[in-house]
Amino acid sequence: MSSTEATNALSFADLGLSASLLKTLTDIGYETPSPIQAECIPVLLQGRDLIGQAQTGTGKTAAFALPLMEQIDVKLTKPQALVLTPTRELAIQVAEALQSYAKNLPGFHVLPIYGGQSYTIQLKQLSRGAHIVVGTPGRVMDHIERKTLNLDNLKTLVLDEADEMLRMGFIDDVEWILERTPAQHQTALFSATMPEQIRRVAQKYLVEPREIKIKSATATVAAIRQVYWQVSGMHKLDALTRILEVEENFDAAIIFVRTKNSTVELADKLAARGYAAAALSGDLNQQMRERVIEQLKSGALDIVVATDVAARGIDVPRVSHVVNYDIPYDTEAYVHRIGRTGRAGRTGNAILFVAPREVSMLRSIERATRSPIAPLTLPSRADVTNKRVADFKASVAEVLNAEGLDFFANIVSQIAEEQNVSAEEVAGALAMMAQKGKPLQIPGEDPVARPMPAGDSRRPSSFAERERKPRSDEGRPRFEDRASKPRTESSSDSRPRFEDKPRRAAPVGDMVRYRIDVGRDHGVQVKDIVGAIANEAGIESRFIGRIALYDESSTIELPAGMPKEADNALKRTRVRGVPINMRPDEGRPDGAVERKFDGERNADGERSFKKKKFGDR
């Protein structure tokens, strides 16, 4: 039995986690432990020291974070665990992960501390008391020296990405801190690689550590075309639909995500964009699972969004594509996933989405499969247009061969005569009408993709939003203040942010953000949306907040507490003939800069849409 099969047989409950934490994991949609989690969690729960060789993407954060959560005594408001990370971005990210695992632990407090942030804020937060501190070595040292960080109650120390800390020249600081920790404590060291100096630190400061390494089995995957897209410049969902639209020989796809919540979210979003898509997760019973697979076989479904466990053993020859929407935990999982395509002698296609921090996992996969994975250039708007035109021509050609065209050709002649135009012009009008929700010609320019070097860019986060210096706007959507002119189309750029975490509607001050199912690919402009909302719901234009256009959807901010009638009217509204299906936005795209609704500031001009005043109805 391979290690993946062996570890996947385990559940989180088997690892010895408490009922409360198990409930949290179910809530956030984790189905099974990743291989590194299955091996590390029991060891850490026993209190043993550990060396974990694992990189980003393997689930290593939860591998140490979950056991940490089990040790915390919430009543004791002193640091009981310290996690050292090489960068502030990682500190923030780890703190966020810990906070998300503390869902059912009221009163739990985790504090990220890092250089560049004001001491005053950190001192205030430290004096309020944190159960876990996550920080960069330099700033942690400072606080120990100033006696503002007391480690007397420390039970566990985690060194995360130890090799990065070495590479960035922090290893002396790390040792300095290690020497100042209480004699009795557990130490866990995680590192993607094991350079000599890290081994030396481990030998000196860890006591009989268990060594855990993610195995990487080699396997050949000859018949499958493998490509990757480095996530940048565009939201993953927009990129996915664009890629699927122009992929040659697309028949059916299995899309892999990490959590069962994501299977449902993504399947719903794809269905809203017109794909025959369904979710497949461990939440489905055997009968439902078989039904989904049957539907995929018969063509009733074209896309199944699945977790690794749920997709095990699927053998559907028409699966032409496997999309690794979330990167797999290890190379074995990758090989297993892509084995769902290229079956029964057909050629298969495997597309891998790689976030900048996951590049090292991509390289591991290439090594393990002994095959290079080529970068995929995101199809441009022109590519999509060409594909749509080609499909349109093909469908017209098909109808041209059909019987009984004479009746319709006669109508065209009549129109041409009555309108005094050529038959070509009439055909043009008909082609325009035939576009429905998908225009053949997509207006606007493509966002410029900005590839980011490996290890350079960390996942953005809400801690980051609150605590960091303002960041540059690169690679993120520009939000337009509707009142400001000239109004240009916003970029669809958006890096994903916490896509794996379920989120609620995101109110902005006294505004609420909604998502609608029309975007630039429908030929929609901001003014169309404003016009429709103002007319249908009688909301004066100045009460309409920011609008961000994406390829296939848009977001719009409207005042909180809208009257039911306005709400109902908006549900029925169409823009350019497409039902907008307005609903509270499921989350904020990366880079959304929160701005409180400011009626005064927006009030200048722009009253042309005013019909009935909001609230007058």
Count of positions on this chain that bind ligand AMP (CB under 6 A): 15
Q: Which listed residue (4, 8, 24, 58) binds ligand AMP by CB under 6 A?
A: 58
Region from 30-38, 528-536, 547-555, 597-605 binding ligand AMP, contact rule CB under 6 A:
30-38
Strand 303-306 to 252-256 pairing? parallel
Q: What is the DSSP string of 314-357?
A: ---TTEEEEEESS--SSHHHHHHHHTTSS-TT--EEEEEEE-GG
Cβ at position 325, least distance to ligand AMP in Å: 12
Region from 53-61, 288-296, 391-399, 608-616 binding ligand AMP, contact rule CB under 6 A:
53-61
CA–CA dist 241, 43 (Å, integer): 42
* Residues in contact with 493: Cβ distance below 8 Å, sequence separation at least 6, in sequence order: 233, 234, 235, 447, 475, 476, 477, 591
Residue 553: CA atoms inside 13 Å, Cβ hemisphere, count? Answer: 26
Task: Kindly tell me which of 51 and 62 has the beta carbon lying closer to ligand AMP.
Answer: 62
Region from 33-41, 224-232, 282-290, 587-595 binding ligand AMP, contact rule CB under 6 A:
33-41
Task: Kindly tell me which of 131 and 258 has the beta carbon lying closer to ligand AMP.
Answer: 258
Cβ at position 196, least distance to ligand AMP in Å: 25
Helix ranges restricted to H, 72-179: 88-101, 119-128, 137-145, 162-167, 171-179
Cβ at position 365, least distance to ligand AMP in Å: 14
24 makes contact with ligand AMP (CB under 6 A): no
Tell me the β-bridge partners of 53.
Answer: 191, 213
Task: Kindly tell me which of 58 and 369 has the beta carbon lying closer to ligand AMP.
Answer: 58
Q: Which listed residue (7, 52, 60, 224) binds ligand AMP by CB under 6 A?
A: 60
Task: Kindly tell me which of 258 and 269 has the beta carbon lying closer to ligand AMP.
Answer: 258
- Residue 397: CB atoms within 10 Å: 9
Task: Kindly tell me which of 474 and 500 has the beta carbon lying closer to ligand AMP.
Answer: 500
Cβ at position 508, least distance to ligand AMP in Å: 25
CA–CA dist 322, 330 (Å, integer): 16
Q: Which listed residue (52, 59, 86, 460) binds ligand AMP by CB under 6 A?
A: 59
56 makes contact with ligand AMP (CB under 6 A): yes
> What percent helix, strand, coil does the chain show, rounded to 5?
40, 15, 45
Region from 56-64, 73-81, 549-557, 569-577 binding ligand AMP, contact rule CB under 6 A:
56-64
Residues 254-273, mask of contacts with ligand AMP (x by CB under 6 A): ----xx--------------
Grouping H, G, I as helix, E, B as strand and the rest as coil, residue 601 is helix
Cβ at position 615, least distance to ligand AMP in Å: 42
Residues 478-507, mask of contacts with ligand AMP (x by CB under 6 A): ----------------------x-------
Region from 54-62, 218-226, 268-276, 313-321 binding ligand AMP, contact rule CB under 6 A:
54-62
Task: Kindly tell me which of 57 and 348 has the beta carbon lying closer to ligand AMP.
Answer: 57
550 makes contact with ligand AMP (CB under 6 A): no
Q: What is the largest CA-CA distance in the chain?
A: 96
Region from 52-60, 407-415, 528-536, 556-564 binding ligand AMP, contact rule CB under 6 A:
52-60
* Residues in contact with 304: Cβ distance below 8 Å, sequence separation at least 6, in sequence order: 252, 253, 254, 255, 267, 277, 278, 279, 280, 292, 293, 296, 311, 314
Cβ at position 433, least distance to ligand AMP in Å: 45
CA angle 496/241/435 to nearest 5° reads: 135
Region from 27-35, 205-213, 401-409, 540-548 binding ligand AMP, contact rule CB under 6 A:
27-35
Q: Distances from the Cα of 220 to the Cαs of 34, 359, 366, 375, 379, in angstroms? A: 23, 21, 11, 19, 28
109 makes contact with ligand AMP (CB under 6 A): no
Cβ at position 522, least distance to ligand AMP in Å: 31
62 makes contact with ligand AMP (CB under 6 A): yes
Cβ at position 258, least distance to ligand AMP in Å: 4
Q: Give the torsion sign (CA, 11, 80, 160, 476).
A: positive
Cβ at position 69, least distance to ligand AMP in Å: 14
Question: 566 is written with which tokens?
Answer: 């306005």
Q: Distances from the Cα of 165 to the Cαs of 51, 198, 296, in angstroms? A: 15, 10, 47
33 makes contact with ligand AMP (CB under 6 A): yes
What is the dihedral angle through the alpha carbons of 270, 271, 276, 280, rounded to the nearest 10 degrees? 70
Region from 55-63, 365-373, 435-443, 532-540 binding ligand AMP, contact rule CB under 6 A:
55-63
Amino acid identity of residue 46, one-letter, is Q
Task: Kindly tell me which of 42 and 439 has the beta carbon lying closer to ligand AMP.
Answer: 42
CB 131 within 8 A of CB 68: no
Give exposure, 179-192, as e/b (b: 16+ Cβ within 10 Å). Answer: eebeeebbbbbbbb
Q: Which listed residue (17, 21, 30, 552) binds ligand AMP by CB under 6 A?
A: 30
Task: Kindly tell me which of 37 and 541 has the beta carbon lying closer to ligand AMP.
Answer: 37
CB 52 within 8 A of CB 209: no
Q: What is the DSSP string of 506-547?
A: -EETTEEEEEES--GGGT--HHHHHHHHHHHH---GGG---E
Q: Which listed residue (34, 99, 364, 492) binds ligand AMP by CB under 6 A?
A: 34
Which positions touch ligand AMP (CB under 6 A)? 30-31, 33-34, 37, 56-62, 258-259, 500
